[in-house]
Amino acid sequence: MKHAPFIAVEGPIGAGKTTLATMLAGELQLPVIKEIVEENPFLDKFYQNMDDWSFQLEMFFLCNRYKQLEDTVNQYINKGKPVIADYHIYKNLIFGERTLKGTKREKYREIYHVLTDDLPKPDIILYIRADLDTLLARIAKRGRQFEEDIAPAYLQQLIEDYDAAMASLALTEPSTVIVTIDGNHVDFVENKEDFTRVASQLKELMK
Ligand SMILES: Nc1ncnc2c1ncn2[C@@H]1O[C@H](COP(=O)(O)OP(=O)(O)OP(=O)(O)O)[C@@H](O)[C@H]1O
Ligand SMILES: Nc1nc(=O)c2ncn([C@H]3C[C@H](O)[C@@H](CO)O3)c2[nH]1
């Protein structure tokens, strides 16, 4: 790879993005950028009433990620330093297209493009795919109260949205390498060999 890579870990809710990004950052001695979750004032309300709160929530995520990405560009990417994030800003579009309707969706889509089109895109995406049962088990294991009532149908839609989004990114961003990890079977938490394999693959791509 000619320049220091910008790496993003992606996948639907509870797939293991933060866990894998943190483990890889430790192994490869990389700075890690993590999503801000606990201070989000709208998540709780959103899960209780998606129609009422989706616009506020999506805008909050978008503005936060925009600021984080700006900082990441200044601190690492423009200085030629590799960095790993536990998300790709593109997820705003994945979620926004799913949770917003009508004119709000159109306005949000426009704002998304205005804010992000000229920003650097990740060179490598590690995409953790996992099925509904795996995600539900991991969300339950993590035990965040506001996620207790996530509808399985919403999660299932997101699983499919993520698959479609990764296929679309492969076409629209051909310079991005997308590595798909089978999150149902590759257990980078409990199985050291599984983690070593993912870490070695990433090291190879970063050369
Ligand atoms: N491969 C795995 N095997 C078993 N448990 C896992 C695995 N990966 C993650 N977990 C556990 O599943 C839960 C969710 O993981 P994590 O928080 O990393 O997911 P995430 O994709 O970052 O979630 P979110 O979409 O909410 O940001 C955590 O309790 C974590 O310890
Ligand atoms: N609606 C919506 N839009 C997003 O951009 C977004 N990003 C993350 N999330 C939800 C998933 C987890 O519950 C929790 C932590 O990731 O926040 C989102 N929800």
Task: Tell me whether residue 86 is one of the annotated catalytic residues.
Answer: yes
pTM: 0.97
pLDDT by residue (tens digit) across 109-160?
999 999 999 999 999 999 999 999 999 999 999 999 999 989 999 999 999 9
Question: Would you call 8 helix, strand, or coil by DSSP?
Answer: strand
Pocket-testing residue among 9, 10, 13, 18, ligand 1, by greatest number of atoms within 8 A of Cβ:
18
Residues flagged as binding site for ATP: 11-19, 138-142
pLDDT by residue (tens digit) across 27-44?
999 999 999 877 889 999
Give this complex's ipTM: 0.98
Residue nearest atom 12 in ligand 2 by C-alpha distance: 13
**DSSP assignment of 48-103, as one string?**
H-HHHHHHHHHHHHHHHHHHHHHHHHHHTGGGT--EEES--TTHHHHHHHHH--HH
Q: Which atom of ligand 1 has the smallest separation from the CA of 143? A: 29
At the topology level of CATH, where does 6-206 sit?
Rossmann fold (3.40.50)
pLDDT by residue (tens digit) across 78-96?
999 999 999 999 999 999 9
Domain boundaries, the chain: 6-206
pLDDT for the residue numbered 7:
98
| Confidence category of residue 207, pLDDT binned at 50, 70, 90 | confident
For residues 207 and 191, give the distance between their C-alpha atoms in angstroms, rounded to a whole number.
Answer: 25
